[in-house]
Amino acid sequence: MTDIELLALHAPHYGVNVTGIFLEGASWSRDSHSLVEASPGVLYCPMPVILLSPKRIKKINGSTSIQFQGEARSYECPLYRTPGRQGSLTTAGHSTNFVTYVPLPSIDCDPSHWCKRGAALLCELGE
């Protein structure tokens, strides 16, 4: 799995810095480092630099728990290659457009709120 951290632009000792990712269906608060409601009329929000690093996730009662700055609530945000979110299904049941899930902190809202909003990360805006 992956863990997300916000960093300055420098080479990490472990993992990889990712830039150029956009958030659709929500916005990113640089103050609280969490998901917030999108501003009216804004379709896509550029994400800050993200450090993706592999980590073991402790299983608690059959579910996973990831903590961000003391918060245990996170939204498993899907990352897609394009905004179309369509493609042929693989044997794993995911679209070929799907890349992975990225856990994003959600301080103000329950993660199900972002699921209903269709919040997703995108690698590119044009199809």
C-alpha pair distances (Å), 11 with each of 5, 17, 51: 13, 7, 10
CATH of the domain at 94: 3.10.490.20
Domain assignment present for residue 14? The answer is yes
pTM: 0.73
**Given this model, what pLDDT does residue 59 score?**
54
Domain assignment present for residue 20? The answer is yes
Domain assignment present for residue 127? The answer is no
Domain assignment present for residue 39? The answer is yes
Q: How many domains does the chain have?
A: 1
Provide CB contacts within 8 A for 77, sequence distance 6+. 23, 101, 102, 103, 104, 114, 119, 120, 121
pLDDT tens, position by position, 12-40? 777 888 889 999 999 999 888 899 999 99
Domain assignment present for residue 57? The answer is yes
Mean pLDDT by 10 residues, the chain (127 residues): 46 82 93 90 91 69 49 82 76 75 88 91 84
